């Protein structure tokens, strides 16, 4: 996850999603407070946030995020508004600085001293709908390629990413782009393909 300390990356977005529906992500960093409040009021209790980083050419490098389930609409709105406000200060800083601010906010500053609970490979902003694959090691294996989702064999229309996640108790994740362009499709980077 070397991309977390690169100083030449741009945060392209901060996005919120309800129930893991990233295809319909809400652009939190470009929304006015009233629009954000209205979205949160109708989002449901299971909300997650991601900060997305690209290089100077607009190519996805990685993203990180976390989920928080808050049943009370008032508590949910207050919490997520505070998180979005914290993000504003980190627009032009290296990704790790914002990541650390979120960990501090959640009371988990030592997260990276812990082993991840798991690693998945999935399609950016289509994680649930495209179907992620849980790795048993650092790479996909032949069985994953044969029995897994179609995008493993035929490529995807969005970047393929490898995501490490922790449970604390809700999920926190850090993902890096792990695909190469082949025509109009993103294909698995050889570094995570079966040997």
Which comes out higher in pLDDT, residue 130 or 170?
130
Q: Which of 118, 123, 122, 99 is nearest to 171 (CA)?
A: 118
* Whether residue 98 sits in one domain with residue 10: yes
Number of domains in the chain: 2
* Whether residue 118 sits in one domain with residue 102: no
Of 38-42, 73-77, 151-155, 168-172, the one with minimum mean pLDDT is 168-172
Percent of the chain with pLDDT over 70: 99
* Domain span at 194: 114-195
* Whether residue 59 sits in one domain with residue 16: yes
* Cα–Cα distance, 38 to 40 (Å, whole number): 5
* Cα–Cα distance, 33 to 85 (Å, whole number): 10
* Whether residue 136 sits in one domain with residue 53: no
Token digits for 86? 């914290």
Read off the pTM. 0.94
Token digits for 160? 């393929």
* Whether residue 120 sits in one domain with residue 30: no
- Reported as a single tens digit per residue, the pLDDT across 73-94 is 999 999 999 999 888 888 767 8
* Cα–Cα distance, 158 to 27 (Å, whole number): 18
Domain finish residue from 109, 144, 160? 109
């Amino acid at each position: 996850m070397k991309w977390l300390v690169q100083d030449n990356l741009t945060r392209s977005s901060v996005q919120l999603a309800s129930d893991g529906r990233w295809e319909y992500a809400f652009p939190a960093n470009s929304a006015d407070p009233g629009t954000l409040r209205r979205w949160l009021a109708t989002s449901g209790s299971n909300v997650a946030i991601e900060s997305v980083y690209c290089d100077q050419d607009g190519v996805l490098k990685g993203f990180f995020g976390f989920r928080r389930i808050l049943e009370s609409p008032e508590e949910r709105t207050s919490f997520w508004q505070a998180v979005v406000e914290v993000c504003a200060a980190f627009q032009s800083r290296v990704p790790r600085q914002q990541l650390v601010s979120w960990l501090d906010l959640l009371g988990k500053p030592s997260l990276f001293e812990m082993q991840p609970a798991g690693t998945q490979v999935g399609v950016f902003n289509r994680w649930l709908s495209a179907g992620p694959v849980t790795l048993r090691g650092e790479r996909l294996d032949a069985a994953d390629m044969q029995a897994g989702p179609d995008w493993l064999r035929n490529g995807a229309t969005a970047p393929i990413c490898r995501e490490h996640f922790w449970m604390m108790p809700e999920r926190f994740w850090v993902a890096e782009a792990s695909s190469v362009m082949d025509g109009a499709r993103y294909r698995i980077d050889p570094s995570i393909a079966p040997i």
